[in-house]
Chains A and B, each alone.
Chain A
Amino acid sequence: MDIANSEGKTRRDFLNSIIGIGLFGWLLTIIYPLLKYIVPPKMREPEVKTIAVGKVDDFKPLSGTIFKFGNKPGILIRRADGEFKAFSAVCTHLDCTVQFDEKIKLIWCACHNGKYDLNGNNVSGPPPKPLTEYQVVLKNKEIFVQKET
């Protein structure tokens, strides 16, 4: 027979709650490593700050070229006035890679028809913000692109 205390709790209630808490803790020790396991470890990749893209004469005015910047694509634009601009080529909408469209003379993303002007500003379609801009440095007719530090 269960003997209840003044609040109506029996010894069995007490033991049940102890077992319950123990069981919960035991479940946590199983779930925690499983959850941690499916999160991939952070890989440290050497961060690229500056990269040589090519010679000035390799790029005609009003053109765009995709280049590798670390593990992400970048786009080098040569405007009609001959000036160079460099941006991250990752569309700010859903992560696609943009391109220079010669017909409309804008930076264009094929995935959802997002458009940016040659200063990287989002001008039409779904992109929510401008492309990230990189600095372009000219040294002896060689083009270098660098991230601002």
Chain B
Amino acid sequence: MSITKHINDWIDERFKLSRLKEFLAKKSVPINKHSVWYYFGGVSLFLFIIQVLTGIMLLLYYKTGEDASYESVQFIMSKVSFGWLIRSIHSWSANIMILAIFIHMFSVYFTKSYRKPRELTWLTGFVLLILSITFGFSGYLLPWNELAFFATKVGTDIVGSVPGIGKYLLIIIRGGEEVTGSTLSRFFGLHAAILPGIYVVILGIHLFFVQLQGMSEPSEIVKLSLEKRKSMPFFPNFMLRDILLWLVILNILAILAVFFPMELGQKANAFASAPRGIKPEWYFLFMFQTLKYIPAKVLILEGEFFGVLMFGLAGLLWMLVPFWDVKTKKGYRYRLVNTVGLTVLLFIIIMTIISHFFS
């Protein structure tokens, strides 16, 4: 008996691995014209793993503090061997991860994969999106440069516009009344400890649901007889395709990091004017552009609060789509859901383009 077989039997006797093997052998992925979208959840997962690994590596040299953060990132970029590569991959991967999550979300939305019995998978996915954006926002401040400083001032000031509790929330988020080294400490704790902990738990639940229920199939295919529904074994057929795509993405990341390394910019200075052409990360651009169009007062509400309220309500409706999509049960098409989805998608794309190219 070989050693591997021996070890295998030893573990199997105690943990019944044969059941897991049986599950993996049976696990399959449906093949249909929408199959390409099945890859984007995996891509988001892969990019998250890259984030964790490069994030841990950055922790070896990164320091927090008004007098240390900018300098330590500068040190990573210029002195540490391949420091520029690790940091550039970390921030490129963050951006592409948000993009992959958006593609994943819209594909699930338009193929109506959130319908019964997958409502909770959609909900946990939405929570992961919010957490990912919070990851992005908190990580953006950590190099303590001019752009990050003003982006954080604006972003947190918007929270402060909520009537009543806004002032307290602002102080809790900033660690004081202004954006200072205290804010940096809080954002660092959030970015490197609190968020990863929560994220891993929710991601675990999200993936567990997917394993329990399998991949969703479009309603017109579910109606077909079992013989006509095609599928592919997950292990190894689909997994190898997954891994191939992940390798392609890793190469794209490396190319981006080498030819378009992330800049560090000027160090934050609380006594300098906001620089010309200041803009937030691309995934905030549509909200940023919308805020520019909202007047100072809407009815009795302050403009910013009105904007926050509208985006909050829209987000809530979006999160709850499995519950107001009333045609879920019958598996019909539902024009309203498609119209809402297209409107949201077009709004985001148009506002982002206007903000990026025309202002």
Contact = CB atoms under 8 A, between A and B. Distances in A.
B176 A73 contact: no
B195 to A, nearest CB: 16
Given A43-B176, A93-B304, A112-B291, 19 more contacts: A38-B172, A39-B171, A68-B271, A71-B178, A93-B296, A94-B153, A94-B154, A94-B304, A97-B271, A97-B273, A98-B273, A110-B275, A111-B150, A111-B278, A112-B154, A127-B296, A128-B297, A128-B303, A129-B296
Of residues B168, B182, B291, which shows the largest number of chain A Cβ atoms within 10 Å of its Cβ?
B291
Chain B: interface size category:
20 to 34
B354 interface: no
Contacts of B297: 128
A129 B303 CA distance: 12
Main secondary structure of the interface of A (DSSP, over half): loop
Interface string B57-69: 0000000000000
Given A111-B150, A111-B278, A126 B294 contact: yes
Interface of A: 38-40, 43, 66-68, 71-73, 89, 91, 93-99, 109-113, 122, 125-129
A39 B278 contact: no
A89 B273 contact: yes
A47 to B, nearest CB: 13
The 3 closest A-B pairs by CB, nearest first: A99-B273, A128-B296, A95-B157
Interface string B237-278: 000000000000000000000000000000000111111111
A96 B175 CA distance: 18
Contact of A97 (B158, B274, B288, B359): B274
